[in-house]
Amino acid sequence: ILEVLRTIMHVAPTKANVLITGESGTGKEQAARAIHEESPRKSKRFNIVDCTAIPENLMESALFGYKRGAFTGADRDHPGLLGLSDGGTVFFDEIGELPLQLQVKLLRFLQERTFLPVGGEREVSVDVRIVAATHHDLDRLVSEGRFRADLLYRLAVVEVRVPPLRRRREDIPYLVDRLAPRIEA
């Protein structure tokens, strides 16, 4: 885990996009939070996009926002998570689940740092750091045509691999001490 921490401390002050990989439950979100907290962006927002929880038909407007009248119920402008995160960090949890159509739009955002809100006519420019995580083998998803190779290239500027606890048993006493409730005699 010391190698993971060294990588986090090395990449945190940069603007580089980061891809965190590892099995479920290994602490990928904690690694993403550590990158944000050790970065110059720590005073700004850290927003999480759970790619498994937002329905595909709502994901675009959730990320890129929308303009009033863009669809039924859009009674006001909404900046979206990217707009709300200007100056901060957006963490895409389980990026491997992002639908292909949205992968194209996220790729464009990563290349240009601008996006077009749903129903909008003008591009919006924001300064947002992207940290993504997955338990999937994204190279395999690329070979199966389920994940874009160019998006993987843009996301994995720096890759942090979080090993499972069974491969770092020396961390167990620390975790027990840190997480177990204190028993007072």
**pLDDT tens over the chain, length 185 residues:** 788 999 999 999 999 999 999 999 889 999 999 999 999 999 999 999 999 999 888 899 999 988 888 888 888 888 899 999 999 999 999 999 999 999 999 999 999 999 999 998 999 999 999 999 999 999 999 999 999 999 999 999 999 999 887 777 777 776 677 667 655 54
Question: HEC states along 36-54?
Answer: HHCCCCCCCCEEEEECCCC
Q: What is the rounded distance in angstroms from the CA atom of residue 123 to the CA atom of residue 48?
A: 23
Cβ–Cβ < 8 Å for 142, 156? no
pTM beyond 0.75: the answer is: yes
